[in-house]
């Protein structure tokens, strides 16, 4: 696990110059290292303290709580081993939450990447005024979760909303956005994709810009169509970035809370009751801290797996 970050440091000489520098450094080491220790404490201490209190300790505490039954103020009472987990993984309600989260995360990631890629490749065309479009395409990056929720809640509003007006004008049947289980999910997905688009566009655009132009020139001479160039030059060249953005979008999707709370409150009939919203409800509404802790740990495992996957790819790309 995490092999590369660990293996980068002082013991692995990469080239001669670095080895030489290291020998010199170790010659000085006797006088410097003693002091370095105190500087390390000063420089690293605050960060380690904060990470310890608010990231490490709570993870172990969550694990601990998840193995007990808890009373209404969250104090552990009876040790129950894994039964909180067994109860969860056999409960149709929780499995539904897992399933809707998966649907949401996969749909959001696929649509964000596809649309981001479309915008980024169009914005890479060298035509006059393209900079203006780039700015517009990245604009949703400046939208926070509650502003996005207000915009889209109005658009989806069943009585006076923009879409209901359109469907009235066009004499189309009204869609129960936010009140119908399926459409509520669609509405939340659309809003999330819209919010993600600005950031994804910028990152993918940056990646496309860094593809060597000689590749395209050579392909043009060979008479390759722009469609061929997109699939055989652009996509392979930016695949590490595509992967990186996909994982980031995926992880953000699993952590989704704000939009759910603002738009659907997990409803209708649990159709959008995703993992984080559930943890919040079970802990702070129902007072079932033990079960919520088990849910939190399952979420941690899911996200940790995807983050590890991301590190694996990063380690190939990042210059250690």
Partner 1 sequence: MNVVAKPKIAKNVWNYLLLSVLALVVLAPFFIGLWTSFLPTMQIAKGNFLSTDLSFQNYVDAFTQTPILHYLGNSLVISTVTMFAQLLFCSMSAYAFVFLDFKYKRSLFVLVLATMMLPFEAEIIPNFSTVKAMGLLNSYSVMIIPFLTSAFGIFMLRQSFKQMPAELKEAADIEGLGHLQFYWRIVMPYNRISLITLGAYSFLGAWNQYLWPMLTTFSNSFRPVQNGLRQLQSEETFNDWGMIQATAAIVVIPTLIVLFVGQHYFKSGANEGAVK
Site for partner 1 in 85-144 (CB under 8 A): 118-119, 122-123, 125, 127, 130, 133, 135-144
Residue 249 contacts by C-beta under 8 Å, 6 or more apart in sequence? 108, 109, 112, 113, 196, 200
Q: Is the peptide bond before 137 cis (omega within 30 degrees of 0)?
A: no
Closest contact distance (angstroms) between CB of 190 and partner 1 is 10
Query: Helix (H) and strand (E) counts for the chain?
Result: 15, 2
Q: How far apart are CA 231 and CA 319, in angstroms?
A: 27
Q: Is position 284 an interface residue for partner 1 (rule: CB under 8 A)?
A: yes
Q: How far apart are CA 73 and CA 289, in angstroms?
A: 8
Q: Is position 186 an interface residue for partner 1 (rule: CB under 8 A)?
A: no
Residue with smaller CB distance to partner 1, 99 or 165:
165
- The stretch among 87-95, 98-106, 172-180, 198-206 that binds partner 1 (CB under 8 A) is 198-206
Q: Is position 145 an interface residue for partner 1 (rule: CB under 8 A)?
A: yes
172, 229 Cβ separation under 8 angstroms: no
DSSP bridge partners of 68? 79
Q: Is position 181 an interface residue for partner 1 (rule: CB under 8 A)?
A: no
- For partner 1, which residue of 179, 180, 261, 281 counts as binding (CB under 8 A)? 261
Q: How far apart are CA 147 and CA 91, in angstroms?
A: 35
Closest contact distance (angstroms) between CB of 92 and partner 1 is 22
| Two tokens, residue 262 | 């603002």
Size of the site for partner 1 (CB under 8 A): 108
* Ranges within 44-63 binding partner 1 (CB under 8 A): 44, 46-48, 50-51, 53-59, 61-62
| Two tokens, residue 205 | 């655009």
Q: Is position 297 an interface residue for partner 1 (rule: CB under 8 A)?
A: yes
- The stretch among 88-96, 151-159, 172-180, 213-221 that binds partner 1 (CB under 8 A) is 151-159
């Amino acid at each position: 696990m995490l092999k590369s970050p660990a293996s980068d440091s002082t013991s692995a000489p990469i080239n001669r110059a670095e080895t030489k520098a290291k020998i010199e450094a170790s010659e000085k080491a006797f006088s410097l290292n003693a002091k370095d220790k105190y500087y390390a404490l000063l420089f690293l201490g605050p960060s380690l303290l904060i990470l310890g209190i608010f990231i490490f300790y709570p993870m172990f505490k969550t694990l601990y709580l998840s193995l007990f039954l808890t009373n209404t103020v969250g104090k552990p009472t009876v040790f129950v081993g894994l039964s909180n987990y067994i109860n969860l993984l056999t409960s149709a309600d929780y499995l539904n939450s897992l399933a809707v989260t998966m649907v949401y995360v996969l749909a959001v990631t696929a649509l964000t990447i596809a649309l981001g890629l479309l915008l980024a490749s169009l914005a890479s065309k060298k035509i006059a005024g393209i900079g203006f479009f780039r700015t517009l395409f990245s604009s949703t990056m400046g939208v926070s979760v509650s502003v996005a929720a207000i915009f889209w809640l109005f658009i989806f509003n069943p009585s006076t909303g923009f879409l209901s007006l359109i469907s009235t004008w066009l004499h189309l049947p009204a869609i129960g956005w936010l009140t119908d289980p399926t459409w509520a999910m669609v509405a939340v997905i659309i809003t999330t994709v819209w919010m993600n688009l600005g950031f994804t566009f910028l990152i993918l655009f940056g990646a496309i810009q860094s593809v060597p132009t000689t590749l395209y020139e050579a392909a043009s001479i060979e008479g390759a169509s722009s469609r061929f160039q997109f699939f055989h030059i652009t996509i392979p060249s930016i695949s590490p970035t595509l992967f990186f953005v996909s994982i980031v979008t995926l992880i953000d999707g699993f952590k989704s809370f704000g939009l759910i709370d603002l738009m659907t409150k997990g409803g209708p009939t649990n159709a959008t009751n995703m993992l984080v919203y559930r943890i919040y409800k079970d802990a702070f509404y129902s007072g079932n801290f033990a079960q919520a802790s088990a849910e939190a740990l399952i979420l941690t495992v899911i996200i940790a797996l995807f983050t590890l996957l991301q590190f694996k790819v990063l380690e190939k790309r990042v210059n250690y």
